[in-house]
Structure 1
Amino acid sequence: MLTVPVRQLGESERRAVERLLDHDPFAGAQVAERIAARGLSWWRAEGRVLGYGARRNLESLCWLGGNLTPVLASDAAVAAFADLLAGEERLCSSIVGRADAVLGLWDRLSDTWGPARDVRPNQPLLVTDTLPPVPADPEVRQVRSGEVDRLFPAAVAMYTEEVGVSPLAEDGGRSYRRRVNDLVRTGRAYARIVDGKVVFKAELAVVTKRTAQIQGVWVAPEWRGRGIATAAMAAVVRDALLRVAPTVSLYVNDFNLPARRVYERCGFQPIGTLATVLF
């Protein structure tokens, strides 16, 4: 009798899952944050965690919720996850994680889950644990609770520009506005506001005991080319390191050369490559 190595994990295996996530604290940060907050019970976690390997030798994970995220997935694990998932309806909006695993999954799932709206195969994963070597913009600060209405249009513009669809298309943007509200409420949203308008924004979209992951970096179009991004990012990184986590991480599209130069000036170093498949 053949034993299927993939299984859905539950709370009883939480320690093994956390140990595995500690081996890839940056690419697996989003999964680690969700499990730390909600555990492994699917009705609380808003997703399932699949495991590959023997019960006493967990080798790989795969988070399946709004996103599909493989963590430390070997070729054998990728094949096993894909075999299971190919028989299910696709409910996730993206596949994101280490490039080799994501592209391996997509190669096996594309016939049943395709087509993709976009495939981004090369997204450098960057990390820093030192304060930026460049001056920080003193006008970049945490967004206050009464400033959500100012931040929200900038957040929508960033999302639409980056992802290629508007977050207002689904449920009129109510769920996205809740997300923006949560980021402001928890002190994770940063902005520079000039004459009542957001000209720079970024947020700590993921926070774990190991890292704060920056996402949503955006400069208003009319302010681009003025050189404000480096000092603005330095302010975010500095606050995150001093107040939130021992490292700061992010990932960026390989073709976004201006952003990559900004991150390099702020002290980020590459530690791997992610990939994203968007539906």
Structure 2
Amino acid sequence: MLSRVAPWLASRNETGLQVRVLGSADTRVLRALADEDVVANVFILAHLDSTGTAAPTSGGARVFGVFDGGTLLGACWAGANLVPVQLAPGLAGYIATAVHHTGRRYASIFGPAETVLALYSHLEQLGHFAHEVRARQPLLTIAGPPLIEPNRQLLVAGMADFDRILPACAAMFEEEVGYSPFLGGQDYYSRRVAGLIRQGHSLVHIDAAGTVVFKAELGAVTADVTQVQGVWMNPDMRGQGLSAAYMAAVVVLARKLAPVTSLYVNDYNARARATYERVGFEQVGTFATVLF
């Protein structure tokens, strides 16, 4: 995309661009754009599979698109988070200006690193300052069975497990971002966890004592790709070399839904990266996350 857009940027007048919120009539072109990279764009593709439309949601989330005439050059989901879709870094300023003018605040930006960092650079100039910038997060995939034997105790969770899974999810969130997901109320995060369980996208091992030993979620799922999120091992069980077998089990269960399993990980998390490599994950790109 960058190679196609960059030469144009140097010579075309900025007034030739149009930035607008996508509607239902734009669904086909948004999907075609996202299909250019089904791994990087699994979030928006899962949304389109679920809703069938690019139009704004009832909760106020919307997709901004950058157009040159009738051609959609790039887009960005703007809900609780900002998620670029095949957006060249050189176009990030147009999206930043548009989302800034909405007056909304966003919890994060995540996606391909170069574009995420470009978006944040423009938003910072507009007064949006990050709590943390994770500039390099290897994007990993595995397209076949895991390289090691999976731990068969990992199962798809049911709603009967909700009361045990929710505290584990909250603990993982707080470890990952530094604050509780229950700030401002427990309802939204609880609904999110319950929704993943109902969809069959919550994976957990609960031992005989009722303790969550390991859990992970398939945060975005399409027919092509699943994206693993929320990987968490009970602190009492860490350091025993158990994580790789659990992650192998995640892959086995995820492959029942889609042939490719993906995730992204902080580059400084050497232990997690080594675990994923043992399982058979390989790097296919680099993400970044900006936390506000």
TM-score class, shorter-chain normalisation, is over 0.9
Distance in 1 (alpha carbons) for counterparts of 2:243 and 2:39: 23
Match of 2:45?
32
Query: Which amino acid counterpart does residue 135 of structure 1 have in structure 2?
Result: E
Unaligned runs of 5+ in 2: 1-12
Structure 2 residue identity aligned to 1:274 = F
Amino acid of the structure 1 residue aligned with 2:210: G
The within-5 A match list for 1:254-265 is: 254-265=267-278
Distance 1:246 1:46 in 2: 32
Alignment of 1:1-279 (within 5 A): 2-38=15-51, 39-44=53-58, 46-171=60-185, 173-194=186-207, 195-241=209-255, 243-279=256-292
TM-score calculated relative to the size of structure 2? 0.90
Whether contact under 8 Å (2:17, 2:69) holds in the other structure is: no
Q: Is contact 1:128–1:247 with CA below 8 Å preserved after alignment?
A: yes
Structure 2 CA distance for aligned equivalents of residues 43 and 72 of structure 1: 21
8 Å contact from structure 2 (residues 22, 56) kept in 1:
no
Structure 1: which 5+ runs fail to align? none
Q: What stretches of structure 1 move > 4 A for 4+ residues in a row?
A: none
Judging changes above 3 Å, is the alpha-carbon distance between structure 1 residues 77 and 166 closer, same or farther for their aligned structure 2 residues?
A: same
Instruction: Give the Cα–Cα distance (whole angstroms) in 1 for the partners of residues 30 and 44 of structure 2.
Output: 10
* Structure 1 Cα separation of the partners of residues 61 and 240 of structure 2: 42
Q: In structure 2, how many angstroms separate the alpha carbons of the residues matched to 1:110 and 1:184? A: 37
Cα shift at 1:144: 2.0
CA deviation digits over 1:171-221, x for unaligned, max 9? 2x1111111111111111111112210010001011012211000000011
How far is 1:157 from its partner? 0.4
State the distance in 1 between where 2:165 and 2:177 align.
18
Root mean square deviation of aligned Cα: 1.6
Tell me the TM-score normalized by structure 1. 0.95
Distance 1:11 1:114 in 2: 30
